[in-house]
Amino acid sequence: MPEPSASLDEHSFRAQILEAARIQVRRFGEAKTNVVDIARGLGTSHTTIYRHFRSKADIFDALVVEAMRDEEDMARRFVETDGPIAERLEGMVLALHARKRDRFATDPEVYGLYRRIVEERPEIIAAYAVAMTTLIARILADGRRRGEVRIDDVEAAAGVVRDAVTVFVHPAHVAAAVAAGLPSEKMARNVVRTLCAAFRAGIDLD
């Protein structure tokens, strides 16, 4: 099998490996996908794949981390835009919820990798939670600076928001809500609006 050109950017080749893996998982599922299949789909050897990823599990982890970064980028747009923080928080949570629901409905095999990470790689989930909580805190801090909310501890308040909306973005909960036919978008909106009302009224989180 041909080896990738020596001039091929390593980051670009890693991205090609991930795309080949994504195609294989969609076609055959996680259990029936292996590194040889991924290499064959890419037109290279499995030894070349191992120069970039230690194992099949490492590749699958990278697919999920890539999806998480996509979600972080989407959430960051609500941080960097202008407008009332209630609208920005609600928009962020609903966008994340919609992205998870869409992936569950249209890309179930890859979505299954996401659920596996939740159970087997808690450190990845913890890093994602920290990143998202930081984005929430930036919105709340902006609201406090502008006098929209009365929050004594922005970091604590951001943690409250994170914990309250996790049920609407956690892969297992999203799947369960879809199966049960719950009006989860409306539920998420109500939770965020309730929290924002409390923040506007003033809250002490000591």
| Extents of the domains making up the chain | 10-53, 60-201
How high is the pLDDT of residue 5? 47
> For 135-158, how does the pLDDT look when each residue is reduced to its tens digit (9 = 90+)?
999 999 999 999 999 999 999 999
pTM, two decimals, is 0.87
pLDDT exceeds cutoff 70 at 179: yes
CATH number of 10-53: 1.10.10.60
Would you say residue 8 has pLDDT above 60? Answer: no
* Contacts of residue 58, Cβ cutoff 8 Å, sequence gap at least 6: none
Longest dimension (CA), the chain: 66
Separation of alpha carbons 44 and 38, rounded Å: 9
pLDDT in tens, 32-65: 898 998 998 888 888 888 889 999 999 999 999 9
Could you read off the pLDDT of 121-136 as tens digits, one per residue? 889 999 999 999 999 9
Which is more confidently placed, 172 or 86? 86
Query: Rounded to an integer, what distance in angstroms lies between the CA atom of residue 161 and that of residue 153?
Result: 13
| Locus of tokens 């590194």 | 35
CATH architecture of 60-201: Orthogonal Bundle (1.10)
Confidence category of residue 110, pLDDT binned at 50, 70, 90: confident
